[in-house]
A and B are shown apart, each in its own frame.
Chain A
Amino acid sequence: MRVPMTEYLLIDLDTERWICRVCAHDFGDARGNYKEGTLVYDRDPREIHPPVIDPEKYEFTFSPDPTFCRILEFYCPTCGTQIEAEYLPPGHPPTVDMLWDIDSLREKWEAHGGNPEEIVNYGPGENAETDLSARFDSVSAHSHSHRTEGR
């Protein structure tokens, strides 16, 4: 049984592994921190948020100050999907943002009886209905690492 946990991650309850929903990359023990299986890049925030007013003239420009703020980008090592982007002070340990009780997760879904990949959606409303089954099921093994945008 596979449970969609975020836009790009699922937990395989049979193997107890964090899995990339896009390409099936294995990020590690589902009882642990999925970030340990990612590639990380320390992004200068000025590259993401460009200045609107001239940084040569002004200290405050719409761009974050890189001595205060860094953006850590977490990538899937196989498909290159950006799974998370975390804003942190320079040198601050990355946040362990999710730790799940896998036994409880299994019990709850077993009690529910349904297939999480068919049941989980984005919430109420017709436009929030979506297919959150693993994307890698619908593409060949060959193309896993070459998936492009969209679904």
Chain B
Amino acid sequence: MTLTTDEFVPASGNDDAAQLLTDQEQQWVDKFMDETTLFLGPDPAIMRHHEIMPRTAYEEECIAKGIDPLEIDRIRKRLAGALDEAFEMCESMGAAPGAKWADLSCAVYTAEGDVTYLSNRGVIAFSSVLHHPIRYIMKNWKDEPTVGINEGDGFFHNDSRFGMVHNTDQSMLVPVIRGGIIIAWVGATIHEGENGACEPGGMPSGSETPFDDGLRASPIKIVEKGHLRRDLLTFLQHSTRDPKLMLADIKVKMGAVRRIMDTVDRLIDEVGQETFVASLRVTVEDVETEVRRRIAELPDGTVTFNQFVDSTLKENILIKFACKITIKGERMIVDLTGTGPEILNRAINSPLASTKAFMVQAILSYWWPDLPRSTGAMSPIEVITEEHSWADAGYDAPVGQSLQASFRGFSALQSAFAKMQFSAPQKYSNVVAPWFNQINDFLWGGTTQNGEQVGNLCADLNGMGGGAKAFRDGEDAVAPLFCAMADIGEQEVMEEEVPFLQLVSKRLVRDNQGFGKFRGGMGYEMMVASRGTPSWGFMTVTSGSKFSSVPGMFGGYGCPVYPLAMVKNVNIYDIIKKDPTQFNLSMERVMNEQPFEGGDYQSSHMGLQFDVAKEGELYMIAQGAGGGYGDVLERDPELVVTDLELDRISAHTASTMYGVVWEPGTYVVHEHQTAELRAQMRRDRISRGTPYKEFVQKFVQEEPPAELHYFGSWGQDDDENLIATHWGGAEPERVKGKLAELPLIMIPDRRVLKIGKLEARVRELEKKYGEVVAHKS
């Protein structure tokens, strides 16, 4: 843990005045701390701040020499071109599956680490969080005699506690040095996947301590004066399951960054070092200024958007992600008070910087996509949060599947914005319902048909359904929330490298929609089975099997929930070989008809820890849908029957949800009967609805149902006081208090709990039937 003297605060808030230090004593303590730092961990002075840095003296000097806006614009465009070229290099040459599907980004930073510009494609959140490690490097390694920063050096890190979206990503950060001065940084980040965690693939849902999260690389100088350090490279390769991936992609990132540096070198030669530095700085400041102006265009007020997440990825719970966004003039305050506490032995917690990175994703992709992609976009926005909530995890909390919390940071901003911007006279993006926000995808690992050890994931996570717009349906499986132009990959290409087949792929699941006047984009089902491998396994890392992950907007409905379905103890390849008609596979048919004799048919939530997949055993999931927009009874009946004809919705949905009457066989809408049915459905609403105050009296309870393992505030009037479920003894108990007052939250192993219940049942039956059994412990 960091022990920096500038963060040290003498004991206070304590009546014992004798404990206060004199100035002299304080100096001694400071000196002692300076000389005895154990190690330089994440620095709160860096990690808890997202604002752009003040101008340096050199930046002041450069800007003072004059700014030509046109020249700055030309420099930005040249940088954008270089970054896009570097992006394509990573995409074309990257070994990581994620790289091939655009889960990466490249960026240029100021000397102090503020993002000036990102590649137009790729994951905004990746690069927008890297000011933290750059500031760490500048603070700790620049003047450190054993490290230093020189031309040709390159720094690597992956630990999100130092600033990274999550630990599966790896960076290459390279300084731009002129005349011995660091004037900028360039960088590339790729979702590499495998990182040596307790499960393959780099996003372990099974992680129970930070040490299960895998590689914990703080910023290290992996490239020294242009040469890749073999000793550190060996360490990294030795620490993960896929040494080839590690080697290949470090080199890919070095190459991509070199290409950006070529453009930077030419630019500096052309425009001069000072103009270059001024242009980087001015871009960051201009974006910040423009964001303040755009905030002021929004109506003053408060929009609240609470989310409820139903899983730790090991068991079902309900944990709140609270968010109130207040606009007052040029100020915007995002307040996460009321969010549930971190769970110290579950993987779903997120470091604050990662949560904020996805707020930047929402701002630059969904609010103001026309802005230069810069740190300045988030800088003016104030964030209120408390360390040790699950959206602001402490150092000792596992964060292996931090996307569970950080994606909620995205959804909080993306979803609330429809209400924030609806009445604004000037909009820079369309009014849109919530985007799907879960990683409905298979992670995998084991030995390939080529004899290699691998661990990674399918590209289907990139097939999230888009939210409905105010004027059109959401697009099916269009893009993940974190990357506007990602690819869902070519399964046939993947099958050459990994030993499983997607037996069903890209088939839409009927009624998997966020219904509305305009419906959300749909998700598709995936069915996989391993083949030709000595050892293989699958994982899933998703919540939202009991509580819908995204709601709709303005009367539209949210997505359904998503199960994991499995058929164990079968070999589908043998079955199909004997009877090819059995290749008629869908989750609905397989699970409902149970056609394979001897199969063990199971459904569960979508938190599956590494599960050994014997040849031909079936694993089935569905990608998620975006939220719907507007009242279902306003949906154009022709759109309803079109969906019906394409088997996107059931007849039940068309009639009971959308209130459409049609001619079976021809799908011709009976307009008059439809209008009558809809009018009746509106009257039915009025008839069954209860006046708000009366409803609240009946519906609202003082606290959650007793059997629900709940975490977070209850309501919004008293967000500082949280409810949590604590296993202090054998049985869970409900505890209440401010975040700092709550006991540490750890959840017992669900298998131990299950065994306990089964043993109790055995004893009950023994007693009932008079069987005498000597139980020894």
Contact = CB atoms under 8 A, between A and B. Distances in A.
A28 to B, nearest CB: 9
Interface string A101-145: 100110011001010100111111101101000000000000000
A99 B695 CA distance: 21
A3 B421 CA distance: 12
Contacts of B703: 91
Contacts of A91: 699-701, 703-705
A41 B511 contact: no
A2 to B, nearest CB: 10
Nearest to B421: A123
Interface string B490-514: 0000000000000000000111100
A41 B685 contact: yes
Nearest to A54: B592
B299 A48 contact: no
Interface residues of A, number: 86
Interface string B395-429: 00000000000000000000000010111110111
A132 B471 CA distance: 12
Contact of A68 (B304, B469, B547): B547
B588 A52 contact: yes
Interface residue tally on B, bucketed by range:
35 or more
A65 B560 CA distance: 10
Given A92-B700, A93-B700, A122-B430, A8 B692 contact: no
Contacts of B421: 123
Contacts of B631: 8, 81-83
Interface string B692-717: 11011001110111011010001111
A105 B715 CA distance: 27
A124 B683 CA distance: 36
Contacts of B563: 53, 58, 60-62
B303 interface: yes
Contacts of B482: none
B638 to A, nearest CB: 11
B562 A62 contact: yes
Contacts of A83: 554-555, 631
Nearest to A99: B302
Contacts of B328: 101
A63 B548 CA distance: 9
B678 interface: yes
A91 B703 CA distance: 7
B635 A149 contact: yes
Contacts of B217: none
Contacts of A109: 425
A97 B305 contact: yes
A146 B686 CA distance: 12
A37 B692 contact: yes
A54 to B, nearest CB: 5
B434 to A, nearest CB: 10
Interface in A24-76: 35-42, 45, 48-50, 52-54, 57-65, 67-69, 71-75
A27 to B, nearest CB: 9
Interface stretch (B44-52, B600-608, B736-744): B600-608
Nearest to B714: A92
Interface in A74-96: 74-75, 77-96
Nearest to B700: A93
A85 B556 contact: yes
A82 B684 CA distance: 12
A38 B692 contact: yes
A89 B308 CA distance: 8
Contacts of A73: 685, 689
A41 B690 contact: yes
Contacts of B679: 146, 148
B170 to A, nearest CB: 34
Contact of A49 (B511, B682, B717): B511
Contacts of A124: 427-430
Contact of A87 (B308, B425, B692): B308
B633 interface: yes
B682 A40 contact: no
B197 interface: no
A82 B633 contact: yes
Contacts of B555: 7-8, 74, 81-85
Interface stretch (B113-121, B384-392, B450-458, B649-657): B649-657
Given A64-B547, A85-B552, A149-B633, A123 B316 contact: no
Given A63-B561, A128-B430, A89 B548 contact: no
A93 B300 contact: no
B470 interface: yes
Contacts of B707: 67
A100 B301 contact: yes
B686 A53 contact: no
B156 interface: no
A149 B671 CA distance: 11
B595 interface: no
B545 interface: yes
Interface string B646-687: 000010110001000000000000000011001101111110
20 contacts: A8-B631, A39-B689, A53-B591, A60-B545, A61-B563, A65-B547, A81-B631, A85-B556, A85-B558, A89-B704, A91-B701, A93-B714, A95-B306, A104-B299, A122-B430, A124-B427, A125-B430, A128-B430, A128-B471, A149-B636
Interface of A: 3-8, 11, 35-42, 45, 48-50, 52-54, 57-65, 67-69, 71-75, 77-101, 104-105, 108-109, 112, 114, 116, 119-125, 127-128, 130, 146, 148-151
Given A73-B689, A128-B471, 14 more contacts: A45-B548, A49-B548, A52-B588, A54-B592, A62-B622, A67-B708, A82-B633, A84-B555, A89-B318, A89-B708, A90-B704, A91-B705, A92-B714, A95-B304
* Top-9 shortest CB links A-B: A39-B689, A80-B682, A91-B701, A60-B563, A100-B301, A49-B560, A101-B300, A104-B300, A123-B430
